[in-house]
Amino acid sequence: EVQLVESGGGLAQPGGSLRLSCAASGFTFSSYWMSWVRQAPGKGLEWVANIKQDGSEKYYVDSVKGRFTISRDNAKDSLYLQMNSLRAEDTAVYYCARYCSGTNCFRYWGQGTLVTVSS
Amino acid sequence: QSALTQPASVSGSPGQSITISCTGTSSDVDGYNYVSWYQQHPGKAPKLMIYDVSNRPSGVSNRFSGSKSGNTASLTISGLQAEDEADYFCSSYTSSSTAFGGGTKLTVL
């Protein structure tokens, strides 16, 4: 059974930093692109970032470029999102998702971790 | 403002069929056959229901179907059931990124 478990969310001050983690199990982690998708309270979904199987390619939504960094450790079956210079508009539930194989979609999702940016 | 446009809400009675539209542009929906749909119940993670416009992942009921015409994609749910009441989001590939719709709340009357 595929499982994705996020952690690391919480309260951060504007301008502060947080590091999210996602522990994967039930599949060969190193064989899949992975993603972060976020959802502001009461709002829709927003794709945040993707990372290739070996970490050699990374893509970000414009609003987080230069502030967020996606990374992975295939030896630990883990995905990360380093979030710096946080803004109030970054407040959201952040989901870790396994990208579909060979096409554009998000096949499996974690339960999400809430990030709140407020003073 | 979401990149893809969905109606805010739709409703239907048990047993009926409903269709949710998702309108984009030539840069996303009309440019690629990479439209997917997600179901989200309150407080839960999204679940993939349709990918590549009209394909269902294993385990998804065949009451769910997808299609596309030009820059508008559609999700149809037939034989509506109470458990289908949820939010539905469309998404499309667009130049190294993914755009989502704003979501549609489905109410089963």
Please judge whether A104 and B98 are an interchain contact, meaning their C-beta atoms are less than 8 angstroms apart. Answer: yes
In sequence order, what are the residues at sequence separation of 6 or more whose Cβ sits closer than 8 angstroms to the Cβ of residue A81?
Answer: A19, A20, A36, A48, A49, A68, A69, A70, A94
The pLDDT of A20-45, averaged and rounded, is 97
Distance CA A26, CA B23 (A): 36
CB contact under 8 A, B52 and A103: yes
Residues of B with CB under 8 A from a CB of A: 2, 32, 34, 36, 38, 45-48, 51-52, 57, 89, 91-93, 96-103
pLDDT at A114: 98
Residues of A within 8 A of B51 (CB-CB) are: 100, 103, 105, 107
Beta bridge partners of residue B50, listed in sequence order:
B37
User: What is the tens place of the pLDDT at every residue in A85-119?
Assistant: 999 999 999 999 999 988 999 999 999 999 999 99
Q: Check residue B95 and give its pLDDT.
A: 85
Cα separation of B24 and A27, whole Å? 34
Report the residue of chain B nearest A46, measured CA to CA. Answer: B100
- Count A/B contacts: CB-CB distance under 8 Å: 58
| CB-CB contact of A70 with A79 (8 Å) | yes
pLDDT tens, B19-70?
999 999 989 999 899 999 999 999 999 999 999 999 999 999 999 999 999 9
